[in-house]
């Protein structure tokens, strides 16, 4: 009789634990990156009343006779399924679509989280503002290169940082020259180049038909289509301003038959002289309207005004001069057994011997998932399932309490036998 009491008590405890987990799940239904918990029950060691015996001549075997001693909570699993993404529009808010974890640290300990509600701190580092933990990754060098093989560290986003002017080194000409042009016909393409001080200078590339499939070109400072002089007093073409272009029977440039010279520009405004390589490889000569146009690389000076994060975790700085440059890379960690991670509060996890060591890499590689900037991952709590579980836990608790009541009544009847 006492066994039924103790078994029912263990059932009450187990179902109370289940209610505790359900309550925690529901309370975190709007917690960013929260992962739902699941209870698994196991039975307690059963008392052996009679052992098993095998078949004998003329008689079959007998199964063991055991009486169970109740239930116990075997495990509370963390279910790491994907949560829905919620749009926030804030570029520092990051969500992971996949199995990876953000890596955060305060210098003393390193934790892992799916909560990507990050911000830029007063020290210009990407940080979880609710905990003060820095987001770890790799900082890019001056040329925008990142070394994912190196150690991870805090990511600095230097808002307001000045970017030096980048002088033009290449002019790319594309479009078409009309194959129906007569010798002497001209086509003009305008292009702006940037010097080392960030000043813009206008150049004009004049194409002149010199016969079938043949054109000459001249790079000059004034527009031949106007009578006014538009010379830039600070710039002059000092060499390589002329050349010839030959096209094959399909209208594509024939580099071997063309003469393309490196352009040299002399500057008197204090900037370095410029050496520019023209690129005509995408220019065609077909029977169609002339659409030749040109563009040069280079950029004036600017400052970092905004940033965004790509799907592969690259932190892209957006400068006031229109330049976009990689300034950092967010790292993600992957675990062989994410269910073995230990919750430490503040939406964070700590690795354990059963989770395995973190495998650190870039988003979009190794199954870590990709990053969505301007989104947050919602909790993966299913309220319908939790309410159903609540009913089941309540009924289980109620049934076990009835076992205690009934056992008590039987004990009372046993005591009354003496009357």
The beta strand positions in 156-273, using DSSP E, are 162-163, 170-178, 186-194, 200-211, 214-220, 235-239, 242-246, 263-267
What is d(CA 359, CA 366) in angstroms, rounded to the nearest whole number?
Answer: 9
Kindly state whether residues 184 and 212 are assigned to the same domain.
yes
Q: What is the pLDDT of residue 228?
A: 55
- Indicate the residue among 296, 329, 353 that finishes a domain: 296
Which pLDDT tens digit goes with each residue over 291-342? Answer: 999 999 999 999 999 999 999 999 999 999 888 899 999 999 999 999 999 9
Kindly state whether residues 235 and 185 are assigned to the same domain.
yes
Helix axes 2-27, 383-416, angle to 10 degrees: 160
What's the total number of domains in the chain? 3
Q: Is 1 exposed, middle or buried (0-12, 13-18, 19+ CB in 10 A)?
A: exposed
Kindly state whether residues 69 and 145 are assigned to the same domain.
no
For residue 335, the tally of other CB atoms under 10 A from its CB is 22
Q: What is the pLDDT of residue 263?
A: 95
Kindly state whether residues 358 and 279 are assigned to the same domain.
no
Q: What is the pLDDT of residue 323?
A: 86
- Indicate the residue among 271, 296, 321 that finishes a domain: 296
Q: What is the pLDDT of residue 309?
A: 96
H-run or E-run covering 104: strand 101-105
Residues spanned by the domain of 20: 2-80+380-416
Kindly state whether residues 46 and 98 are assigned to the same domain.
no
Q: What φ, ψ does residue 408 adopt, rounded to 5°?
A: -65, -40
CATH code assigned at 203: 2.60.98.20
Kindly state whether residues 189 and 274 are assigned to the same domain.
yes
Q: What is the pLDDT of residue 350?
A: 96
- Indicate the residue among 243, 278, 296 that finishes a domain: 296
Which pLDDT tens digit goes with each residue over 331-348? Answer: 999 999 999 999 999 999
Kindly state whether residues 321 and 412 are assigned to the same domain.
no
What is d(CA 30, CA 74) in angstroms, rounded to the nearest whole number?
Answer: 27
Tokens of residue 95, six digits: 């969500």
Helices (H), 257-339: none
Q: Which residues in the chain show pLDDT less than 70? A: 1, 227-231, 418-419
Please, are residues 68 and 43 in contact by the beta-carbon 8 Å criterion?
Answer: yes
H-run or E-run covering 394: helix 383-416
Q: What angle do CA 271, 273, 274 make, to 5 degrees?
A: 115
Kindly state whether residues 217 and 284 are assigned to the same domain.
yes
Kindly state whether residues 126 and 182 are assigned to the same domain.
no
Q: What is the pLDDT of residue 51?
A: 87
Kindly state whether residues 93 and 108 are assigned to the same domain.
yes
Kindly state whether residues 34 and 122 are assigned to the same domain.
no
Kindly state whether residues 361 and 398 are assigned to the same domain.
no
Q: What is the pLDDT of residue 151?
A: 95
């Amino acid at each position: 009789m006492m066994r039924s009491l103790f078994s029912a008590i263990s059932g009450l405890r187990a179902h109370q634990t289940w209610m505790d987990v359900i309550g925690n799940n529901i309370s975190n239904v709007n917690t960013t990156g929260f992962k739902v918990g699941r209870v698994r029950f196991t039975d307690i060691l059963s008392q052996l009343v009679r052992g098993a015996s095998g078949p004998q001549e003329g008689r079959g075997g007998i199964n063991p006779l055991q009486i169970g001693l109740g239930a116990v909570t075997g495990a509370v699993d963390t279910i790491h399924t994907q949560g829905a993404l919620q749009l926030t529009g804030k570029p520092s808010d990051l969500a992971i679509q996949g199995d990876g974890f953000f890596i955060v640290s305060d210098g003393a300990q390193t934790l892992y989280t799916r909560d990507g509600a990050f911000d830029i701190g007063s020290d210009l580092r990407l940080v979880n503002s609710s905990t003060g933990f820095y987001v770890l990754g790799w900082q890019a060098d001056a040329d925008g290169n990142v070394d994912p093989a190196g150690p991870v560290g805090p990511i600095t986003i230097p808002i307001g940082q000045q970017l030096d002017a980048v002088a033009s080194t290449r002019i790319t000409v594309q479009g078409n020259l009309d194959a129906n042009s007569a010798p002497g016909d001209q086509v003009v393409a305008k292009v702006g180049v940037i010097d080392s001080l960030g000043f813009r200078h206008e150049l004009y590339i004049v194409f002149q038909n010199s016969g079938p499939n043949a054109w000459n070109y001249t790079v000059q400072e004034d527009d031949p289509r106007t009578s006014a002089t538009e010379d830039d007093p600070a710039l002059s073409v000092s060499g390589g301003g002329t050349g010839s272009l030959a096209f094959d029977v399909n209208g594509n440039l024939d580099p071997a038959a063309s003469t393309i010279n490196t352009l040299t520009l002399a500057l008197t405004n204090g900037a370095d002289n410029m050496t520019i390589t023209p690129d005509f490889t995408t220019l065609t000569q077909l029977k169609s309207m002339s659409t030749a146009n040109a563009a040069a690389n280079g950029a004036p000076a600017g400052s970092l005004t905004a940033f965004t994060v790509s799907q592969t975790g690259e932190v892209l700085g957006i400068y006031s001069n229109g330049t976009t440059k990689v300034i950092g890379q967010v790292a993600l960690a992957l675990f062989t057994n994410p269910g073995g991670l230990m919750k430490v509060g503040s939406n964070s996890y700590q690795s354990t011997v059963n989770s395995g060591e973190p495998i650190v890499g870039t988003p979009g590689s190794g199954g870590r998932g990709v990053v969505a900037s301007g989104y947050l991952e919602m909790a993966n709590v299913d309220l319908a399932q939790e309410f159903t579980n609540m009913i089941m836990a309540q009924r289980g608790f109620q049934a076990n309490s009835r076992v205690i009541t009934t056992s008590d009544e039987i004990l009372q009847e046993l005591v009354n036998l003496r009357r």
